[in-house]
Every structure is written in C-alpha cells, then in structure tokens.
Amino acid sequence: MHVIYLHSLAGNPGLSPALEQLTASGIEVVAPTLPGFDGTSGWEPPHDHLTWLTRVWDVLDSTGALPCPVIGASIGGMFAAELAIFRPESVTALSLLAPLGIWAGESPAADPYALPGAQRLPLLFASEVPQAFEDQYAAFGEGGDVARYLAQVAGASLVWPIPDRDLDTRIHRIRQRNRILWGGRDRIAPVEVAMRWSSVSEPTIIESAGHLLEWDEPDAVGGALLEFLDEERQRPAV
Amino acid sequence: MKTLWFHLMPYPGLDERFDREAKSVWVDLDRSYFDSSVVTRSYHEYLDQLEYAAAAGFDGICVNEHHQSAYGTMPSPNLMAAALSRRAPDAAIVVMGNSIALYNPPTRVAEELAMLDHLSEGRLVAGFPVGTAMDTCYCYGIQPGQLRQRFAEAHELIIRAWSEAEPFAFNGRYHKLRYVNVTPRPLQSPRPPVWIPGGGSSVETWDLAVRHDYVYAYLSYYGYEQGKATMDGFWEYATSRGLDDNPYRAAFLQFITVAETDAEARRLYKEPVEYFYRRCLKIPPGYAGAPGYQSEATFRSKLSSQVRKAARDVGSEPPTFDQIVDRGWVIAGSPDTVRERLEQSIGDLRFGHLLCLMHIGNMSDELTKMNTKLFAEKVMPQLRNRWPGYEDKWWPEACM
C-alpha cells in the first residue's frame, strides 16, 4: 500500500518520525516537493489559486501514485482537501493535519511575516525546531540562502495576506473517509479554525502540539494515521 | 540643475510613550497615538509649506504615498497635488508617486493623473514607485511575490491608456478590461514625464528606468555618502546598456537644514532631526522582510533597501544630531557649508534633480519656512548652473 503526503509551509525536509512509523509498518509514503519549495532558480508564484492547484496536480500526477490515500499538513492539507473536492476519484481516503485555507477571524492567529526571518520557523512548532528543517537546503551549499528564500516566497504566496482561500465554501463536497488532526498549541491556525472543519469530521485535538503536529507529537500522530490507514489496508483491492 | 521641495508629511505628535511602547511607526500603530486636531492642522501647514516653497523659487514641489503610518500621513498624494495645482501656479507638480500595483483597475491612476495634468496646465511629473513592503504587502495585502508582476502590468496599462488613440481591450494577468478609454487623456503629449522613485537598491527599478528612458529617483534618508553606492550602481547599469550620462536621468533626495551659522543650525534643527531618525524610522525587522518583495536577482545581488537598514537599527541607540550630520544623512549648517556639501554630492552622485527634504520630523511651520527661505536665497542660486550643456528631457514643457 502507498499514500501521498503533502508537506507544510515549512517545506519538505524528509519524512517526519510520525510518517516513518507508516513506512516501518510497510506503507510506502510518496512525498513530492510542492512547486517552488525545491529552491529552483527562476520560479515565480502562480498569480491565482486555481493556477496553484493546477501546478500541484501536475506534480501529483507525475508521481503516478494517484488514486490513493492522501495525507496533507498545513498548506499540504489545503491542497489535499482541494484534490478531494475537485478530483474526488483521485483520493481514496483523506487525512488532514492542521490544514490551512480557512480563517477564523476572531481567533488570535500569529502572523509569521510580522517577525524577523529567524523567528518565523519556531512559530510553527510547540517544541524545538527539528534539525531536519535547519538542514533542509544544506545541499545547495553557498546557494542555500537563495533556495531557502525562494521556498519562503512560495510559502508566503499561499498564505498572504491571511491563510484563507475560501475553502469553507467547498468542503461540503468532501465525501471521502477522512480524519482531521490538530495541534492544541497551533499558533498559525488556532484550534478555533479546526472547529470550522467539524462539518467534514470532528477534528482530534492533540493538546501539546503546534502547527506541525507530526513533528511535535510523532507518536500520537503516527498512531492515529496508522489506525486510520489500517482500515484502508484491509479494504479489498478494486 | 533643478531643485525640488519634497514633503513626507510625517505626523509630528509622537511622544515618549511611542518610544517606550510602540512596536512600529507603520502598519499597526495604535490610533491612540494620533490627535485628529494635529492631523488637521498639519495638513494645512504642510500644504502652506509646499506653496511657500513654490513661491520661493523651487522648480518643483513633491508629494508621495504612504499608508497606515506616522512616517508619512499622505495615503493619497493625488488629493494633495490637486490642492496644490491651483495655489502654486508655476512649479512642477511632482507626484512621487502612485504605487500603481495597488490599484484595481490601474486606469484609476491614469485618470487621476490626467486630471492633475489638466488642473496644473501641463505641469505634472508622474512618479511610479513599486512602494515599500509595509505599504504594499502589509497594509494593502498584495502578495509580495506578485508585487512586481502587478506593477509591470499596471505600468503597461497606464502608459497604453494615455498613449493609444483608440479604445482598446486589455487582457492582463491581473486586470482584464474590455474597454480602456481613459478620459481625459493627459494634457502633455504624449504623456507627462515619468520618474521611478525607489527607496533602495533594486535591479528591477534600475532596469525599468533604463528600459523606458525614465528618471531614476533615489529617495534616500541616509544621505549622499551612503547613497553613492546605489547611484554608482544605477549609472553603471544605465551606461552599460548604452544610455548617455545626462545627469537629468537621475534625482536624489537629501535632507537639508540651513541656518545663518553651523552652530545655529545645530541649535535649531537638533530636535526635529532626531525626532525623525528616532521615531519615524521605527520599523520592526519583520516588516522589512516580506518573502518575495525582493526578486531573486536582487536577493542574489545582496543589495539591501534602506528600510531593511532602518529595521536592523531598531533596538540600538538612536543616532544623535551630530552623528547624523557627520554621516551625511542630513546636510546641515550655514549656507556656505550646505552649498559646499551639496556641490560635492551632486558631482559625486551625478544627478540633475535635487529633491530637498526641508521639513523633517516635527519641525515647526516657522522653522520650515525659514529653512526654505535661506536655502532658496543663499544656496539654490549657486547650484542652478551646475550642469551646463545638458538638456532636461524629463521635465514638463510648461515649466521650462
């Protein structure tokens, strides 16, 4: 069995310990890097959301992994939900980890871009920033700063000026079996946002986790994902 | 040499509570720092000062655009320019300018500037800045990575709207208009002179000015010594692409304070100058670093804007008047001192349009006018013939 994992606002630094639990149990995790996050020179953000979706679908189709269960975190959660809505035949089951795309205006969400660059990444975690994120662009050598900057440009384009892409007008079309997990200490999308998803399914709140909950609480998140995917594994192949 | 008088219209009533408690002068400054009666009085004083400068003989008077800020309280420079166009009958009206990426559709800017060109009887200079990250990305919500694409599209649309004889359809990425037919067209033909103001070093800003044969205007608040690298960069970029070295291709903004003696200048201007550098540049580093505001090319070149410098400096001890003058951020002193330093700066940086910022921080109306008068009478005449033999092709004919 295989699943697709769509990464967060902070890029694709490799599998989190939570996802490694899936691989350890025999599930292949296909984790493509979203457009703009690979540090490619010359990349510019798409001018609108539909063009963003199209570019992401091009990447997903190129993996050859669809249809399959899709897991998405943060902006990856937003893309996973959009895929389930617009291309329902591609998603056999859906797991969302603090997806962005819906805004709860009354909740005190932090703006990472009001902070100096060095203080933005820590805002995504309840615990220390994992080393994998610090090392993410090390392979670029001296060009690492540029690659990191371009990835930040991509991320900012998905959440600027506020992380709302009107997903609330579409999520009623999610028909797949799904599971939503959220960090109780999420400062980017506070738990009030999670409640906006309750019409899709009741979110499970992991109290001690921040926005990137699969890194903050790998055992809890990995366990929940395994439990969710086990049912898919037991489903007879069509 | 053209000499212009430039107003930022800062809010003059920030106090010690601002020093202690406020995070930023821009974007999210609490409204409790503003007294409406001060704003009303300031607007009238500031317009008076611009009119006074025009009457004193300055070639042009300049207004500009900032949002949600006590650094500059002029969200709409076009409103101010409209008021000035009837009361300052001879000077060029230099709108420095409209942040054209912010307007939807940008034909609104084309319309308003065309109106201003008629109101001023052909004395308009149209400035098109990209705008600061605070104004464009944080206050007006433009995605930083889209800002320059939006700017480029708005620029193309405005120029075509002014230039094309027949109505046309415009199919841009951000603006789709079936009928573009701006009415009236500008009085100046084919259009008013266009200047590209910038607050820092950006390859794209130089490129825009050079490709379209516009004036590059460096709005520096760190003076001519630090501005030299930027202006050298511009001239190298321009001449390497085949342009001549006509100094009127460039404008440079310089803070200037004049008194009868150097000591008197220190006594009179210390407070307003320190007010500006302590309070009006209080910008947190986050607001200077919107990802995508800098293009990849500019990021790679390690060029940095002066907003980033101001933001880096927040938290450190604000500079004193003497330090500010020593560093050349402000040219201050007797008429002879000011003339000498300006002559050096004009030659070193090679510009034909001097933008004089002579109201600084919380400077009083009386002091501002004295500063303006002394400069106009005792400094400006010595500078006027600085660039003989060069034609200013970027100036309204009505003001020649």
Question: Which domains are delineated in chain B?
Answer: 2-399 (3.20.20.30)
DSSP annotation of B132: -
Q: In this complex, is the C-beta atom of B384 within 8 Å of any C-beta atom belonging to chain A?
A: no
Instruction: Report, as an integer, the average pLDDT of B105-126.
Output: 98
For tokens 């104004």, name the residue.
B135
DSSP SS3 for A96: strand
pLDDT digits (tens, 9 = 90+) for A23-36: 999 999 999 999 99
- CA B315, B321, B324, B327 torsion-angle sign: negative
Torsions phi, psi of B179, nearest 5? -130, 110
pLDDT for B310 equals 67
| CA-closest candidate to residue A13, choices A35, A43, A36, A38 | A38
Confidence of residue A237 (pLDDT cuts 50, 70, 90): low
DSSP annotation of B134: I
Identity at B161, one-letter amino acid code: A
More confident residue, B307 or B242: B242
Cβ neighbors of B304 (< 8 A, separation 6 or more) are B200, B201
B318 CB-contact burial (10 Å; exposed 0-12 / middle 13-18 / buried 19+): middle
Chain A residue with CA closest to B148: the answer is A44
Enumerate the residues of chain A whose CB falls inside 8 A of the CB of residue B313: none
Cβ neighbors of B281 (< 8 A, separation 6 or more) are B25, B71, B221, B310, B313, B314
Per the CB < 8 A criterion, the answer to whether B238 and B211 are in contact is: no
Identity at A49, one-letter amino acid code: H
Average pLDDT, chain B: 94
pLDDT for B309 equals 64
Interface contact A41-B296, CB threshold 8 A: yes
Enumerate the residues of chain A whose CB falls inside 8 A of the CB of residue B290: 113, 156
Q: In this complex, is the C-beta atom of B312 within 8 Å of any C-beta atom belonging to chain A?
A: no
Interface contact B296-A115, CB threshold 8 A: no
For tokens 């940095």, name the residue.
B304
pLDDT for A126 equals 97
Enumerate the residues of chain B whose CB falls inside 8 A of the CB of residue A150: 296
Interface contact B141-A160, CB threshold 8 A: yes
Enumerate the residues of chain B whose CB falls inside 8 A of the CB of residue A45: 143, 145-146, 292
Q: Which of residues 5-34 of A touch B (CB under 8 A)?
A: none
Kindly report the nearest CA distance between residue A116 and chain B, in angstroms.
4
| CATH number reported for the structural domain that contains residue A139 in this entry | 3.40.50.1820
- For residue A131, pLDDT beyond 60: yes
Cα distance between residue A57 and residue A49, in whole Å: 12
Interface contact A45-B141, CB threshold 8 A: no
Cα distance between residue B140 and residue B144, in whole Å: 11
Q: For residue B229, what are its two tokens?
A: 């690298």
Q: Which of A43, A47, A137 to mutate to test the interface with B (most CBs of B within 10 A)?
A: A47
- Domain containing residue A129: 2-234
DSSP SS3 for A75: helix
Confidence of residue B261 (pLDDT cuts 50, 70, 90): very high
Question: Total structural domains in chain A?
Answer: 1
Interface contact A47-B141, CB threshold 8 A: no
Q: In this complex, is the C-beta atom of A152 within 8 Å of any C-beta atom belonging to chain B?
A: yes
Torsions phi, psi of B237, nearest 5? -65, -45
Per the CB < 8 A criterion, the answer to whether A91 and A84 are in contact is: yes
pLDDT for B336 equals 98
Q: In this complex, is the C-beta atom of B190 within 8 Å of any C-beta atom belonging to chain A?
A: no
Per the CB < 8 A criterion, the answer to whether A65 and A2 are in contact is: yes
Distances, alpha carbon B21 to alpha carbons A108, A112, B32, B279, B310, in Å: 20, 21, 12, 12, 18
More confident residue, A106 or B287: B287
Enumerate the residues of chain B whose CB falls inside 8 A of the CB of residue A37: none
Enumerate the residues of chain A whose CB falls inside 8 A of the CB of residue B145: 44-45, 153-154, 156-157
Interface contact A157-B145, CB threshold 8 A: yes
Confidence of residue B306 (pLDDT cuts 50, 70, 90): low
Interface contact A117-B289, CB threshold 8 A: yes
| CA-closest candidate to residue B94, choices B70, B117, B74 | B117
DSSP SS3 for A37: coil
DSSP annotation of B138: I
